[in-house]
Amino acid sequence: MLEAHSDTRSLEEDDSLEEQLANLKLDKIEKVVEASEPDEPNQETKKEEPEGNGIPEALDGKEALVGLGLQVDLDGQLHWGPEEDLEIQQWSDGSSYKGHMAMDLKRGLGEFKWANGETYVGEFYKDHHHGRGIYAWPDGCRFTGSFYLSRKEGYGTMTFPDGRKYQGLYKADLRFGPGIESYIDGSQDVGIWMGQHLFRLCTLMPGSVSMSSFPELSPHWCEDRGNKDYKSLEAPHGQSKDPFDFRYKILLEEDSFTLPDKIYSYSLDTDHLPITRSQHTEFDSFFYRDGDKQESDDATCHSILCASSMKDICLHVIKHSNRSEHMDWNISSIMKDEREKFGPKGPRERSAEQLIEMSGLGDLETVSTILRHDFAHVDVSDNSGQTALHAATVNGHNNIINLLLDNGADVNKSNDEGLSALSLCLMLFYSTKSFWPNVAERNIPENKEEESNRALDITENESCVVNETDSKENGEVSPSSAESLQTSVCSKTNASLGNEEADLSADHHRNKNLRSTMNLLLLRGADPNTSSIPMNAIFYAIKSADVSTVQLLLECGARTDVRMRTQHGSLTPLHIAAALPVAEGIRITEILLHVASDPNAGAEDEDYMYDRDRGETSGSILGFSMKGGLESGLPLYNYFDKTCGVLEEGGRTPLHVACEREDDYKFARDTISLLLAHNAKLNTLWSGHSALSLAIASGNDLAVKELLANGADPNLALTRGVGSALCAAVNIAYEKKRTLPARIALVDRLIKAGANILMPIVIGGGKRTVLGTATDYAYYKYFQDKRIAHTPYHALLPEERDTYNARKQLLEHLGKLTREAVLTKEREWAKEGIVREAHPKGSTKVTAGEGSTPSSRTFFKYCYQCGRSIGVKLTPCLRCYCIYTCSKQCKKRSWDELHRDECSQLSGKLSGKMSPTGRGSRKMHSAKGRQNSPGKPPHGERESSGREAYGDRIPSTSENYSYN
């Protein structure tokens, strides 16, 4: 039989209760029973004696029966159908049944009376009260509504002898969902119910903290809040996961493994016997008739965005939203938080509001009284989801927090914005002024002076966080006042010195109190992984470089594989730690790695372009012809040993972040060393870059040395136009990070580490691409600078001339390295007997040694002086036909500096037998060279060089000056 104690228990009276709670006492009133009016005015409603159909007076009434959808005859009584179809059963304890039966089970309409006076009239299915019906108790209580397996389920009305009436949603005999409890004085308790208490109010309590108080955190919040829309909830059949999902429950899928046949002939104990899926389907088909079961969310629960219990309530509302019983009860107004459509607030509603308000004010005695006498649910919330625990946390009342948790408050319950009590505490404790800017979030300071000043201000404030809340009267939280405090520290006068120190002392005390609150919540079981709005708890501590809190959160179970949403993709805690520009970042990185954080986790920014690569042009450029004799790439590949392995490309890893840092190179180097010690992958690409190329681009030579010492591949083929590590070292986009001697030293370091300057590089973009060397890549990048590469030397500004001269010297150094690399390789071939013999018109003949394949070697053609192989017209030496030059200037310089003696040996002629015209020409050029200052080639030579190299392709209206 059903137990009514959960619905009939009245509120107790307590003499010690404060005056503001005195209205909670409910006065008993006499039983009121309204008789139904008959359909026909001249016909009286018929009352049956107990020996008749047995319907008690409390159950009598045509409207109640018709409202349940049951058939009622003209006399206003339940329509049983033909008398011969009815069966009567009686038991020795005095219980009896009259109604329809099938297969020896009560099925259909019927009436059951217990010996204690309880009576049920309505629908039965397999001996259970299942469907619509009316249940009455001897004390005058009556429930009119739906039942599922003998329990109240769905919408129903419960009336009490004292005049109270509850109309709302039930689940498993308990109030579970929207409902209204009305009193004889006209007041009403309105809201979402769970059991005997209101679980959510329709009103907003003052002092609630919202994300709107923290606009700087709104980017993370807006993205995640958009995902918490209950319109996307699953249908009720698959909405939640069983918290006790044991393996043996798979047997419930098959009836033969669970229950014996015809078990209902001797046992109806559904509380202790499993119910298979097919049985649930059978019971549902009888309970939900006429297509009244809702399978999807309309717009009923658009404002319910909070913890799992509220999610379950919302799904239950969806499940029964098509039932007709609640249509006139303004249930939709409750779900929309429209309280004004109901009567004055009832005692339970006022008690719930007082619980939240007094928790925020720190009134321990009142909160204790409400909880001791069970006047309100400990987790009741206002229409924003704020609970008493949230209010106490925001105001730092640790004694109230302990009291609430001792009485069963859910320490992890979140409000409608997804903020738990711990999240609120962290938001208040860590102001954004305490967050260190980091390259992982693309907000590194533009100048280090700003960063150093900020560090000084934070040190003076001791805890790196200065938060300020408004007074307890309104309970609202204002943004941090750290900025004003920091400004006044530098500009305070003697007259205001005492007040300023008092303010700093108050802020320090407030921060200390919030830290103790945070520690208390963690000690009492707060889960740091519950709330990810606006970010998980561990990100607050990491972004603020708070080592002790990071360690505490990890000890309390904080996960390290969580993600923080940013405008450039999601990041893990290790990404943020690797980007911290302070010494604490190294320690936090070490702690995270020791708890098995993944050093190779990629951020979701694989489509992002590295900032310093933005704005670069691809394809053909002025002064650089995208043509060359290396379309097949065969000559270069003969000079370069291909590396094996498949390139991995994806989002940024923590190693990429550390190599990208431009704040403190020593700290970044130490972080890189930690990551490498924990097996961080060296050769994973992001935005076309490897960790080595990012360290080169950021100017961190310490990181370059560390990476090379740990086996970074300098010949890794980089994508998206980056080329290789050598290409990154000569790229003009990164040249401001180093002086000229440092750039030359970097190139030499890469060469010493095994970088091959003859590595084939794809130059250009789109359909206009050619293969060249790192030297060709350098010329291609330098010609993209329209100001310096295409302006006469005398028209450049002094700073631009310095840049031009530095680039020219680096290009000359690259030409030297290219020549040395080619000659070294060809000397190795010569030992194998593979040499090339020169012939007129520049043709070559490969002479192979014994056992060699002549066709396997194709010699590389390049300018012997500048090293260029593409974008220029190469002409052989007319004496030996063994070298090529790209211009008159390169031809003269190579002859004077290098080729004079080589040519005589190769051609078998002495240089002294040259024609007088040739010697005179050399003397003339030497004289011109001596007349000009170092680093400033004469205008005539540069112009002739450009004309020789590119011919008529250079427009005559604009002078084109190469670096030859």
Helix (H), strand (E) at residue 88: strand 87-90
- Whether 630 and 777 map to the same domain: the answer is yes
Terminal CA-CA length for the chain: 102
Helices 421-429 and 497-523 meet at what angle, rounded to 10? Answer: 150
Burial of 863-876, coded b for 16+ CB within 10 Å and e otherwise, reads bbbbbbbbbbbbbb
Long-range contacts of 210-217 (CB under 8 A, 24+ apart): 210/384, 210/417, 211/417, 211/419, 211/533, 211/534, 213/476, 213/477, 213/478, 213/479, 214/427, 214/432, 214/479, 214/534, 215/479, 216/432, 217/427, 217/432, 217/534, 217/535
Helices 398-406 and 364-372 meet at what angle, rounded to 10? Answer: 10
* Final residue of a structural domain among 531, 562, 593: 562
How many whole angstroms from its chain centre is CA 469?
Answer: 28
In this predicted model, what pLDDT tens digit does every residue of 690-730 receive, in sequence order?
Answer: 999 999 999 999 999 999 999 999 999 999 889 999 999 99
- Whether 533 and 651 map to the same domain: the answer is no
3-state DSSP helix/strand/coil percent for the chain, to nearest 5?
40, 15, 45
User: What angle (nearest 5°) sits at the alpha carbon of residue 866, between those of residues 865 and 867?
Assistant: 100
Q: Indicate the pTM of the whole model.
A: 0.75
Q: Smallest Cα–Cα separation from 99: which of 83, 114, 115?
A: 83
pLDDT confidence band for 441 (50 / 70 / 90): confident
Domain count, the chain: 4
Query: Which residues form the domain of 540?
Result: 432-562
Q: How far is the C-alpha of 818 from the C-alpha of 822, rounded, in Å?
A: 6
- Whether 356 and 387 map to the same domain: the answer is yes
Rounded mean pLDDT, 935-953 = 36
Contacts of 900 (CB under 8 A, 6+ apart): 911
In this structure, how many other beta carbons lie within 10 angstroms of the beta carbon of residue 862?
A: 30
Quick one: pLDDT at residue 589?
96
Two structure tokens written together for 733: 């986009």
DSSP letters spanning 288-340: S-TT----S--STTTT--S-HHHHHHHHHHHHTTT-STTTTTTHHHHHTT-GG
CB 746 within 8 A of CB 701: yes
pLDDT confidence band for 157 (50 / 70 / 90): very high
pLDDT confidence band for 509 (50 / 70 / 90): low
30 CB-contact burial (10 Å; exposed 0-12 / middle 13-18 / buried 19+): exposed
The answer as to whether 85 is a domain residue is: no
The answer as to whether 699 is a domain residue is: yes
User: What average pLDDT does the structure give for the chain?
Assistant: 75
Report the range of poorest mean pLDDT among 102-111, 131-140, 206-215, 744-753. 206-215
Rounded mean pLDDT, 918-940 = 40
Two structure tokens written together for 125: 């299915």
The answer as to whether 503 is a domain residue is: yes
* Residues recorded for the chain: 964
* Final residue of a structural domain among 419, 451, 472: 419
Helices 691-698 and 701-709 meet at what angle, rounded to 10? Answer: 160
- Whether 635 and 698 map to the same domain: the answer is yes
CB 402 within 8 A of CB 441: no
Q: How far is the C-alpha of 529 from the C-alpha of 412, rounded, in Å?
A: 9
Quick one: pLDDT at residue 920?
40
Quick one: pLDDT at residue 710?
94
Rounded mean pLDDT, 490-494 = 36
pLDDT confidence band for 80 (50 / 70 / 90): low
User: What angle (nearest 5°) sits at the alpha carbon of residue 28, between those of residues 27 and 30?
Assistant: 140
The answer as to whether 278 is a domain residue is: no
**Cα dist from 894 to 240, 749, 865, whole Å:** 79, 26, 5
Quick one: pLDDT at residue 583?
94
What sign results for the dihedral spanned by CA atoms 951, 954, 959, 964?
A: negative
Q: Helices (H), strands (E): how many in the chain?
A: 32, 19
Rounded mean pLDDT, 102-109 = 86
Say if residue 36's pLDDT is above 50: no
The answer as to whether 64 is a domain residue is: no
Quick one: pLDDT at residue 798?
93
DSSP-derived pairing of the beta strands 128-136 and 87-90:
unpaired
Asked if residue 82 has a cis previous peptide bond (ω within 30° of 0), the answer is: no
Q: Smallest Cα–Cα separation from 857: which of 826, 883, 885?
A: 826
Q: How far is the C-alpha of 906 from the C-alpha of 239, rounded, in Å?
A: 85
- Whether 645 and 723 map to the same domain: the answer is yes
Q: How far is the C-alpha of 85 from the C-alpha of 75, rounded, in Å?
A: 20
Q: Which residues pair with 167 in a beta bridge?
A: 157, 180
The answer as to whether 102 is a domain residue is: no
Greater model confidence, 578 or 466: 578
Q: How far is the C-alpha of 162 from the C-alpha of 140, rounded, in Å?
A: 9
Given phi > 0 = left and psi -120 to 50 = alpha, else beta, which region is 238?
alpha
Say if residue 50's pLDDT is above 80: no
- Whether 625 and 765 map to the same domain: the answer is yes
Q: How far is the C-alpha of 60 from the C-alpha of 64, rounded, in Å?
A: 8
In this structure, how many other beta carbons lie within 10 angstroms of the beta carbon of residue 49?
A: 7
**Cα dist from 58 to 33, 71, 97, 109, 175, whole Å:** 7, 18, 18, 18, 22
Two structure tokens written together for 301: 């629960």
- Check which CATH number belongs to the domain holding 747 and give it: 1.25.40.20
How many whole angstroms from its chain centre is CA 939?
Answer: 58
23 CB-contact burial (10 Å; exposed 0-12 / middle 13-18 / buried 19+): middle
* Three-state secondary structure of 412-443: CCECCCCCEHHHHHHHHHCCHHHCCCCHHHCC
The answer as to whether 206 is a domain residue is: no
Say if residue 642's pLDDT is above 90: no
- Whether 717 and 753 map to the same domain: the answer is yes
Q: How far is the C-alpha of 57 from the C-alpha of 891, rounded, in Å?
A: 120
- Whether 689 and 834 map to the same domain: the answer is no
Quick one: pLDDT at residue 756?
93
pLDDT confidence band for 614 (50 / 70 / 90): confident
- Whether 398 and 496 map to the same domain: the answer is no
- Site of tokens 């490498």: 676
**Cα dist from 406 to 364, 371, 378, whole Å:** 13, 10, 10
- Whether 768 and 651 map to the same domain: the answer is yes
Percent of the chain at pLDDT above 90?
A: 41
Quick one: pLDDT at residue 433?
72
The answer as to whether 492 is a domain residue is: yes
In this predicted model, what pLDDT tens digit does every residue of 838-896 receive, in sequence order?
Answer: 555 545 555 555 444 444 567 888 999 999 988 888 888 888 888 899 889 999 998 88
Helices 364-372 and 347-361 meet at what angle, rounded to 10? Answer: 140
Greater model confidence, 169 or 497: 169
- Site of tokens 């450049």: 796
535 CB-contact burial (10 Å; exposed 0-12 / middle 13-18 / buried 19+): buried
What sign results for the dihedral spanned by CA atoms 598, 599, 601, 605?
A: positive
pLDDT confidence band for 126 (50 / 70 / 90): confident
Greater model confidence, 642 or 358: 358
Q: How far is the C-alpha of 731 from the C-alpha of 410, rounded, in Å?
A: 58
Rank 397-411, 460-474, 848-862 by mean pLDDT and report only the highest: 397-411
In this predicted model, what pLDDT tens digit does every residue of 227-280 receive, in sequence order?
Answer: 333 333 333 333 445 555 666 666 666 666 666 666 666 666 776 676 777 777
- Whether 730 and 752 map to the same domain: the answer is yes
* Final residue of a structural domain among 767, 784, 801: 784
- Whether 619 and 766 map to the same domain: the answer is yes
- Site of tokens 């859910």: 410
Greater model confidence, 57 or 162: 162
Q: How far is the C-alpha of 903 from the C-alpha of 877, rounded, in Å?
A: 8
- Site of tokens 């047997």: 251
Two structure tokens written together for 839: 């012939």
Rounded mean pLDDT, 505-534 = 85
Quick one: pLDDT at residue 771?
87
Two structure tokens written together for 42: 């001249």
